Structure 1
Amino acid sequence: MSAPSPDRLDQLRAPAHWQAVEFISDLHLQPGEPLTFDVWRAFLHRPTSERADALFILGDLFEVWVGDDVLESSASTDQTFWRACAEALKHFSGHTPVYFMAGNRDFLLGTEGLKACGMQGLSDPTTFDFLGQHWLLSHGDALCLADTDYMRFRQQVRQPAWQHDFLARPLSERTGIARGLREQSEARKRSTASDPSLWADVDAEAARDALRTAGAHTLIHGHTHRPGVHALGDDLQRVVLSDWDAAAEPPRAEVLRLDAQGLRRIPLPLS
């Protein structure tokens, strides 16, 4: 199986005055994980002087997103939580631009949801021009070619017709379907937890092809929850973002910062 070719490769050029940007992904914010939400909210509440010039969220900000109406519908039992997320982002984006790229958990975040959060949407992948270089940004799931079951699922749910039909269902039904899919996903994780060789990962040749198409040397992505730097040959590399889980042992919450010094991982305070 080959990686799906994007209909277009979007390009974002940083304004000349930008000196630093930050990347995060895979926070999987959800009502049942208050510790991670608290760390994230504290991150957003940093003084303006400590922030980068822009924040890039490369997918799976939310554990699940079943439609933008979760922010307004009284049928959503977790409406207060989702609105708190949106309001925190909206306040932050009043001072710092926020760019959002959909992940495999929150690809149904639509125009109204982006507006409520004060975020600007990015296509996956996007080429980012900054500091005199091209950087390729992606969530990463479309490059995990060995995970054939997921790739078939992804192809189905990214179809406009499927999304239209799903979003036309009652919110309670959508929430139930999403809960069932999450339970299946968690069961699959548990079944492979003891054997890292079974974990899905980005296909190296697909990553190289994507970089060459973009004219970039570094791919920055999330999804795999395996932070690190992987050399791909020919001076190409991929840099993997950390997931966030403040309740894990040890806890995880990290930002990737890019400035004139290069790429740096910055652990966040967890208390």
Structure 2
Amino acid sequence: MVEQAIRPMVEAIAAKAPYGWTEAVLHSRAGRGGSSVTGGYTVRGEYRNTGMPHPYAELMALGETLRTDRGWDPVSLELRCRPSGEYRLVVFHDAVTWMTGGGSGFHVVLDGDYRLPQPGRHQQPGTAAPAGAPELAAARFHTYLQRRAEILGHPEELPPPATPAALDDAERRLPADLRALYLIADGDGIDYDNRYLFQGNAWLSLESMVAEHSDWNAGERPWYGWDLEWASVVFDTTPADTVRRCGAHPGWLRFATGHDGNFLAVDTDPARDGRPGQILHTGRDYDEPSPTAI
């Protein structure tokens, strides 16, 4: 299995190699949170850290293999290749992490079980009335669809609406204005073809929204490993005290996604100066959720 994952990477490195190369070295980290690549070629005794391909799909496949076979996640690896087709692969999983990109070097995890604090759990809750108005939300959504149809020259097909019973069963905390939109259409995807109606994000079906909430352990942010999390400090929003300072929260209901680990979420449990129903940007690339009134 490892050979099947590595061989395409070796072939890609050789195919991208400059004339006269004698060795190529690729360093990577791979795991469920993603993969990273750095490295270069040696040509006539000089090392060049350019031109190295980025075989992310193959690295993710290798990470999945090692996670299944050995329980390692994430893994660090060094792959050395020669023009003859020979290669040497060294893979390890321990407390020493090879860092790539702007933070070159190594970092050492002394306590692998430690998790960054989530100060938002202890913030004073908000007391304001919900931000949304269902009739206004539905009217604006219909106007939005009409204008899109005028620009495109035809109306866009959307899924049939969710039923009130399905909405009650799925999530009783769903704000009234978002509920009104689901009574117009159950998301914006048909056969995995999304319309990306919300700021370029795919609107999740009711079933997918519930699944996302469950996958994030009812609001707990997934742990991507210390290679990605070591600098993930959760900052406050602007204005302050409107959103809880958390990487994720049970009161955040993710209803749209960029398919990149980032989401739009409706906030049903804001901080002191926030309002229920405010919309957040949240996910793996956000350490400062930004609220937007709806």
Same fold (TM over 0.5): no
TM-score normalised by length of structure 1: 0.24
Bigger helix share = 1
Please identify the structure whose Cα radius of gyration is greater.
2
- What TM-score does the superposition give when structure 2 sets the normalisation length? 0.23
